[in-house]
Amino acid sequence: MNSDGKMRLAAYYNPTGHHVASWRHPRAQADASTNIKHYVEITQTAERAKFDLMFLADGNATREADIEAICRSVQFIAHFEPLTLLSAMAMVTDRIGLVATASTSWNEPYHIARKFASLDHISGGRAGWNIVTSGQDAEAKNFNHDKAYDHHDRYERAREVVKIVLGLWDSWDDDAFVRNKETGLFFEKEKMHYLNHKTERYQVRGPLNVPRPPQGYPLLVQAGGSDDGRETAAQFAEAIFSPHLNVAAAKAYYDDVKGRMAKYGRDPDHCKILPGLSVIVRPTEEEANADYAFLQSLIHPIVAREILSTMLGNIDLSSYPIDGPLPDLPEHDGGHYVSILEMARKENLKTIREIGNRVAGARGKNVIKGTPKQVVDYMEEWFVKEACDGFTVMPPYIPGALDDFCELVIPELRRRGLFRTEYEGTTLRDHLGLPRPESQYTRRAKAAE
DSSP string, 202-249: -EE----SSPPPTTSSPEEEE---SHHHHHHHHHH-SEEEE--SSHHH
pLDDT value at 393 more than 90: yes
Q: State the pLDDT at residue 255.
A: 95
Nearest of 263, 226, 228 to residue 242 by alpha carbon: 226
Element at 369 (helix H, strand E) = strand 366-370
Nearest in space to 439 (alpha carbons), one of 283, 147, 263, 217: 217
State the chain's mean pLDDT as an integer.
91
d(CA 111, CA 233): 22
Q: Which fold does the domain 8-297+365-448 belong to in CATH?
A: TIM Barrel (3.20.20)
pLDDT of residue 74: 57
185: DSSP letter: B
Residue 403 has pLDDT above 60, yes or no: yes
- Residue 133 makes CB contacts below 8 A (sequence gap 6+) with 103, 104, 105, 149, 154, 155, 157, 158, 224
- Is the pTM higher than 0.85? The answer reads yes
Farthest-apart Cα atoms in the chain, separation? 80
The DSSP line for 46-113 is HHHTT-SEEEE---SSPPPS-HHHHTT--TTSS---HHHHHHHHHTS-SSSEEEEEEESSSS-HHHHH
Smallest Cα–Cα separation from 100: which of 115, 111, 110, 114?
A: 115
Provide the pLDDT for residue 110: 98
The per-residue pLDDT for range 36-48, each reduced to its tens digit, is 999 999 999 999 9
pLDDT at residue 214, rounded to an integer: 98
C-alpha triplet 105, 260, 197: angle, nearest 5°? 40
pLDDT tens for residues 103-114? Answer: 999 899 999 999
What tens digit of pLDDT does each residue of 218-230 get? 999 998 778 888 9
- The backbone region for 173, taken as left when phi is positive above 0, alpha when psi lies in -120 to 50, beta otherwise, is beta
pLDDT value of position 303: 84
**pLDDT of res. 68:** 58
pLDDT at 75: 60
11-34 confidence digits (pLDDT tens): 999 999 999 889 999 999 999 999
Contact 52/432 with Cβ under 8 angstroms? yes
**Start and end residues for every CATH 3.20.20.30 domain found in the chain:** 8-297+365-448
Predicted local distance difference test score (pLDDT) of residue 300: 84
Confidence of residue 335 (pLDDT cuts 50, 70, 90): low
Nearest to 365 by CA among 296, 304, 241, 278: 278
Sort strands 197-198 and 203-204 into parallel, antiparallel or unpaired: antiparallel
The whole-angstrom distance between residue 311's C-alpha and the CA centroid of its chain comes to 17
Closest alpha carbon to 372 in 334, 330, 420, 406: 406
Predicted confidence (pLDDT) at residue 345 exceeds the cutoff of 70:
yes
Please give the Cα distance from 80 to 34 (Å, whole number).
6
